[in-house]
Structure 1
């Protein structure tokens, strides 16, 4: 089973009664464990949670802090990239060369990397006061 298959399998669990746009995400940690997430909407927009953020939260809750692969899937005409906030979240826990596979429920895929999704990312070096 591919990581995109894991994202596909969890996607039906998304809670998207307002947008009807269900997203599934799966990340593989450095240990090889797979963590899954779905978008969770809230009637008080924008208080929802993205699928990528949910998968990262599950990884952190399990005590891991490094991801090595990402997959995101949605029912869309073309592969859907993570939002800006999730791009920064992925960059916090993954190296720039981490492969991110974006997919559609119809089978289209696009592979990219965290660096390609977020060039010039903000990181801890920007807060160096020395």
Structure 2
């Protein structure tokens, strides 16, 4: 099980269910429980928190360009890091050939997509 903080569970549900397509399995006022790709994600309501500068959750996808295009249709913006050498869409190709892109959820949790080489 993975855990994510959220200051607004309604907004998080709209993002994780409506944009990312995860299935809500429970919502109890304390947390939103999602299922996706065989992993349970518990989005826990918090009053305040400071987003971390590193990736907190990611998904392996078979076609990263296709998934990025689908997310862009939902106004998801991909993060471009200074000096990383990403392309114009925010896609980075690692030295070993893996392709990675980063984006943020509504609480600024840093998320990623990876397509293995």
Pick the TM interval, shorter chain.
under 0.3
Q: Which of 1 and 2 has higher RCO (CA within 8 Å, sep 6+)?
A: 2
Higher strand proportion: 2
TM-score, normalization by structure 2: 0.27
